[in-house]
Structure formats: structure tokens, C-alpha cells
Structure 1
Amino acid sequence: MTNSLRVIGRRLLPIHVRRALVRWTCWPPVGWVRLGSLRRLRPISSQWGSERGQPIDRYYIERFLERQAGDIHGHVLEIGTDSYTRQFGGCQVHRSEVLHVAEARPPVTILGDLTRAEHIASNIFDCVILTQTLQAIYDLPAAISTVHRILKPGGVVLVTVPGISKVSRYDMDRWGYYWSFTSCSLRRLFEALFPPAAIQLEAHGNVLAATAFLYGLASQELHQRELDTVDPDYEVLITLRARKPQPPL
């Protein structure tokens, strides 16, 4: 019935009347939305909101790592820093390694590129923490292959990647910022080497969280419910846990 009325309306009503009806039948009506502090061409913070509090993507990252803290044990590799190894692994970690592509100063223990890391032995890490790294690597299959190779059988990689995000100018100007991800693309990349049953993937965010993140608001400026509500059409951050299978007996 509704579709029939729309067809009749399109045939009989003048175009200016149809346009007026559209404006007044959607809610809020066209022209009534007030953008307030968000009507601006520059973000409120260009540093992800870090000077205002916790960046919104870090809220999702740290909640993910907190839930997976039991995986961060034994011999652990993290990229760029050991901060999450220490924060979430603590005394469960017996040996901590940090890989960096360009800088060899502490806490970095391995200088290298994940796409060309033949100098890293195979099957040695219980856990690899790979947060906000893959977007800065062009050859993703090669990097994921390295991660798979250096994990022990039964070892776990913990991954976070950006979905809806501003570009990291720091990364772009140094080694590149190549990708934003969806849950579909990230799953396909890891299923090339890890069994689908060994992969756990979640997308986080919604239109409000995405908007706040792009403007550089901090997580403290939203309510927890606003951060935790998931709308699959607005993936701010994607998290993935993948376990390297044990060899068959």
C-alpha cells in the first residue's frame, strides 16, 4: 500500500511539493540538524584526542587486550614498544622482544621488517602483539606469513587494525600508511594461513563513536554504552585473535 501511494504521489504531485514532503517527513526535518561544535573543517584534536584523554581506538584496543591477557605469556613479541606486553602480560612474560623497522634504541631488541624477517627464528614466540601495525605495511601477505612462521605451534597473534580512521601523518611520512580494513578483508588475510576455526574476529564502533574519533574526542567524552554499542556498518576498529595450530600427531 505504501509503495503504491508513493508511485501515485510521484505521478500526480508537482516536484516542489514532493521535495517539501520529503523534507518534512524525515526526522529530524532537513535543515533542523544543529552541528554545534562539530561544524568545523579542522578536527577538535589532530592527535587522536590523546591530549584530551584516552583516544577512542585505544579504548577498544585495551579492552581487547585485557580480555586476551591470558594469551600474553612466555616469549612475547610486540611491535615498536613493549608497553602492552608489560601492561597486560606482567609476570606471565618470561622474555619480551620488541621489533622496529627503523630504530634500534631500547626497548627495541630486533631491527627488522616483518615482510623480510629471515633473521628471526621460526616457532619461537608464544604471543605476537600486533596493534595498529598492518596499515603501515604494503605487503600484507608477506608480513602475516612471517607472523605465522615465528609463532610456536599453539601460539597466538593478537591483532588490531583501523577501520574508520584518520590517516596517521607520522606513519605516512616515514614508512607509509597504506590500508584501512573491514572485518571481511582482515579475516580473508588471516584465513590464508590460519584455520578459520582458529580465528576470532570482532568489529567495534558505531556512527557516534566514529564521528567522535574523527573529530579527535576522547573516550571519556562518550558514555560507555555509546562506545560499546556495535553497528556493523561503522567499523571503527577491528580486533582479531588467531592461534597457530599444533602439528598433527
Structure 2
Amino acid sequence: MSKIDRRIGAGLFLRFLSTEPVSREFGYDRGTPVDRYYVENFLARQSSEIRGRALEIGDAAYCRRFGGAQITQQEVLHINPGNPEATIVGDITVPGVLPEAGLDCIVLTQTLHLIYDMKAAVEGMRRGLKPGGVALVTVPGISPVAEDEWGATWYWSLTTLAATRLFGDVFGPENIEVETFGNAYAATTFLQGLAHEEVSKRKLDVVDDRYPVIITIKARRAA
């Protein structure tokens, strides 16, 4: 057992028996949230796809980090005006908001569950992608619900089956790759609000489909 495992076991076991989590901020106040460990590993593996004219939601932090010089034109979508990074303001579910067949890549992390009409959002992504373009999407499975402004529109958590059906219906089953990440240990630490720096990476890397913390989707528009 590692020093970190012993510290978590000794210092937090009694807290796990409480109805109050260790952190109500997803672990941001302690480090990097557990779900972001999976999100960032996914984008690192798919970094070669983050290129050309790329769009991210809210800001361009992940595009800059994982796409870098491969990006020739950066777009940022935000639902509300006033975001200084936004190049496109509007609702992804509305036809015409994204440039028609204009994007090489869309990075949409931990956002789709905030949109009630998820199918319309997925259809919007497909319309916005060039033939051969790819959407890199992550959605929550087992997760706390945000207490900030996003809690008011936190409509969904997904399963692998739901994500496969949702994206397969729009992009075609042959054009999507869906993966699940997480296990009982990962789900417990995430629900408690621990940071991934505090817990065992070896245990986080074990995949148990019955306890999905994160679901990742790679969807390509057919050429």
C-alpha cells in the first residue's frame, strides 16, 4: 500500500461514513478532480485530431494544451455574450450557429449533459464538422451535481449504452468510438470530492463498466 493510499485510508475513512462529502467543489479546492484525470487522458490520446479549424466550448484551454501549433484557426463557442474568448455566441442546438461543414475538430468536455435536447446538440456538431472532421466529447456518468450556475441546467448523466445510441443515430455506428472509464473506487473518491493527486492512479486506471465515472466519445463525420 502506498503512502498516499495509507493517508487516504487513515485520514478520510471516517469522513466517508458521513453524509457530508470531503469537498463539494468536485475536488477543485484540493487539486484536479478525478473526472478530469480521465478527460485529459482522453484528449492526450486524441491530440493528433485537435487541429485545423478547431472549436471548444467556453474557452480554448484544452485546444491550446493538446492541439497547440496544429490549430490554424481557433473558435470558442459560448451561450452568452460577454465572454472575452468567444468567437461564436449562441446555442449549439440551433442550426446555423456553428459554421456549416466548417470545422475540423470540436472539443466538447463535460458540457453535453447541460443541454436538455442532447440529440439536437449532437446534430449541431455533425452539421458544423467538415467531412472527415471529428468531435471529441466527454460526458458524466456517476457524478455529483454542480451547486453553481450550471446546476440549474444539469439535466443528464449518461451510460455507455446511451452515448452509443445517441451518437450512433446521428453519426452512424461505424463512425463512433465510445469508451467508459472508472470503477467503484474512482466513483467513491469522485463523489467525495477528492483530487486525483490524492488517490491511487493505479486504481483509477482499472475499468469497471458497471461504475462509469466518465464516458468518452469520438465521432467522425463521414467523408
TM-score by length of 1: 0.82
Distance 1:56 1:151 in 2: 30
Give the counterpart of 1:133 among 89, 111, 133: 111
Equivalent position of 1:54 in the other structure: 32
CA distance in 2, matches of 1:146, 1:226: 37
Residues 173-228 of structure 1, C-alpha deviations (whole Å, 9 max, x = no match) = 3xx11000000001100011112121111100000110000000010122111100
In percent, how many aligned pairs have the same letter? 46
Out of 116, 133, 151, the residue aligned to residue 172 of structure 1 is 151
Q: Partner of 1:172: helix, strand, or coil?
A: helix
Query: How far off its partner does 1:141 sit?
Result: 1.2
Distance (whole Å) between structure 2 residues aligned to residue 117 and residue 167 of structure 1 = 29
- Whole-Å separation in 2 of the counterparts to 1:47 and 1:119: 32
User: 1:53 Cα deviation (Å)?
Assistant: 1.2
- In structure 2, runs of 5+ residues without a counterpart are 1-11
Aligned length: 211
Shift of 1:35: 4.4
1:88 counterpart = 2:66: yes
Structure 1: runs of 5 or more not aligned = 1-33
2:76 pairs with 1:63: no
Residue 213 of structure 1: aligned partner: 190
What root-mean-square deviation, in Å, do the aligned CA atoms of Structure 1 and Structure 2 show? 1.3
- For the 8 Å contact 1:104–1:110, the answer to whether it is kept is no
Looking at both structures, which has the greater relative contact order when contacts are Cα pairs under 8 Å and sequence separation is at least 6? 2
Contact 2:15-2:21 at 8 Å conserved across structures: no
User: TM-score by structure 2 length?
Assistant: 0.92
Q: Which runs of 4+ in 1 moved over 4 A?
A: none
Match of 1:223 among 152, 175, 200: 200
Q: How does 1:142-161 map to 2 (within 5 A)?
A: 142-161=120-139
For residues 81 and 143 of structure 2, the distance between their equivalents in structure 1, rounded to whole angstroms, comes to 26
CA contact (8 A) 2:38 2:214 kept: yes
